[in-house]
Amino acid sequence: MVVPEGEAPQVLLQLVNDRETTWVDDRGEYWGMAHVFDPETGAPVVSGDVGIAGVGRTYRLDPGATVALPVAWPPGVRTLSPGTYDVVACVPELALASPVGTLRIDPTG
């Protein structure tokens, strides 16, 4: 994804039921938590706790079905220098992580 310098990324994480059975979960609303890394060193470039407020929710996904989850970004993501970064979004409550993605901060907006 490409984001203008000074802005926060806006993206949704697709949660896919790859089981052969329907997945039902009523433990509440899930969010992806973004982690941003330097692609050369693998070191985190922004970090910190993210506060989110969700509501009670029940998920019911048939096999192969998907649901879009909001992604929360760490404090400081708006202050990243122009460049390209690696991103992984995790859903800790489900012990899931996305494949590595790319975030490019564009200085020209």
Please name each of the domains of the chain with its CATH number: 2-106 (2.60.40)
Answer positive or negative: Cα dihedral of 24, 27, 32, 33. negative
41: left (phi over 0), alpha (psi -120 to 50) or beta: alpha
pLDDT reported for residue 90: 94
pTM (2 decimals)?
0.87
51-68 mean pLDDT: 87
List beta partners, residue 32.
71
31-60 mean pLDDT: 87
**40, burial (CB in 10 Å: exposed 0-12, middle 13-18, buried 19+):** exposed
Q: Could you tell me the end-to-end alpha-carbon distance of the chain, in angstroms, rounded to an integer?
A: 13
pLDDT > 90 in the chain, percent: 82
Residue-wise pLDDT for 8-32, tens only, equals 999 999 999 999 999 999 988 999 9
